[in-house]
Amino acid sequence: MAIEVKIPTILRTYTGGEKAVNAEGATLSALIDSLEADNPGIKDRLIDVKDSGPDLRRFVNIYINDEDVRFLGSLEAPLSDGDQVVILPAVAGGAR
Amino acid sequence: MLKIDQATYDAIVAHAKRDHPVEACGVVAGPLGSDRPARFVEMVNAAGSPTFYEYDSTDLLELYKEMDDRDEEPVVIYHSHTATEAYPSVTDINLAGEPGAHYVLVSTREHGNNEGPVEFRSYRIVDGEVTEEPVEVVAATNTEENR
């Protein structure tokens, strides 16, 4: 089951410059493991492992079919063949 | 160096003044590989804060899809500081996610919502390293002659 994942500029160092790569998995968590297998190092940029367990990094947005995964169960968000996944770094900052 | 047209420069300053004391934010998109800021896009600061800005996640996706459809990229990513200088904070540096963009900072600390000059400065932020660059304001960058 292949799912196309769009990769933002800042993470293309892990994909050999590719803007989109194929990965697989029935959940976002499994998809990220599959991404990591082909593009070592990328997982750490997406997932933060805290005392409470792994979670999506605060300033990384991942969308499944245009929906923010935070509304779909985050790392447990279900995936099916043909889904479109987009990764975007947050655009954020400020004086504080 | 950042080369930016007067109208876009004015639009960024006007946005920063209007939203003061909340931080204003937005992008200026341009054709891929052109380094030419051409299409001014104001964004909503979803944090609504005087010390922090963040695009709403839905707006962010819309913006990137639109740029993708138009073969554009973010040439300028701007925001304002409303009580401090126009220099990237540690937060700005840590969260800078577009190594190819010019990060423009405007400070409204001097005159707030009122008329008067603002600090308008531009930086490259790559791998945590900040490099300030000169800003050249030109009459227009959107015409053939100026490309």
Which amino acid is it at A3?
Answer: I
**DSSP per position, A35-88:** HHHHSTTHHHHHEEEETTEEEE-TTEEEEETTEEGGGTTGGG-B--TT-EEEEE
Say yes or no: A66 contacts chain B, CB-CB below 8 A: yes
State the average pLDDT over residues B21-50.
Answer: 97
Q: Tens digits of per-residue pLDDT, B124-140?
A: 999 999 999 999 999 98
The residue length of chain A stands at: 96
Check: CB of residue B113 under 8 Å from CB of residue A24.
Answer: no
| Interchain pair B57, A68: CB under 8 A | yes
Please tell me the distance from the alpha carbon of residue B111 to that of residue B117, in angstroms, as a whole number: 7
Q: How much is the pLDDT for B141?
A: 64
Please tell me the distance from the alpha carbon of residue B25 to that of residue B76, in angstroms, as a whole number: 11
Q: How much is the pLDDT for A1?
A: 61
Please tell me the distance from the alpha carbon of residue B122 to that of residue B103, in angstroms, as a whole number: 6
Check: CB of residue B25 under 8 Å from CB of residue B41.
Answer: no
A1 vs chain B: nearest CA distance in angstroms? Answer: 25
| Interchain pair A93, B58: CB under 8 A | no
Torsion from C-alpha of B107, B108, B110, B116, nearest 10 degrees: 110
Q: How much is the pLDDT for B140?
A: 82
The residue among B37, B27, B17 whose CA lies nearest residue B119 is B17
Q: How much is the pLDDT for B142?
A: 56
Rg (CA), chain A: 13
Report which DSSP code applies to A3.
E
Of A10, A86, A92, the CB nearest to B53: A92
Please tell me the distance from the alpha carbon of residue B17 to that of residue A62, in angstroms, as a whole number: 32
Q: Tens digits of per-residue pLDDT, A39-77?
A: 999 999 999 998 889 999 999 999 999 999 999 999 999
Interfacial A residues in 26-55 facing B (CB < 8 Å): none
Q: How much is the pLDDT for B50?
A: 97
Q: Tens digits of per-residue pLDDT, B100-128?
A: 999 999 999 999 999 999 999 999 999 99
pLDDT classification of B143: cutoffs 50, 70, 90: low
State the average pLDDT over residues B41-56.
Answer: 98
Q: How much is the pLDDT for B147?
A: 43
**DSSP per position, chain B:** -EEEEHHHHHHHHHHHHHHTTSPPEEEEEEETT-----EEEEE-BTT--SS-EEB-HHHHHHHHHHHHHTTEEEEEEEEEESSS-SS--HHHHHH---TTSEEEEEE-TTTTTSSS--EEEEEEEETTEEEEE-EEEES-SSSGGG-
Mean pLDDT of chain B: 94
What ipTM does this complex have?
Answer: 0.92
Please tell me the distance from the alpha carbon of residue B77 to that of residue A60, in angstroms, as a whole number: 17
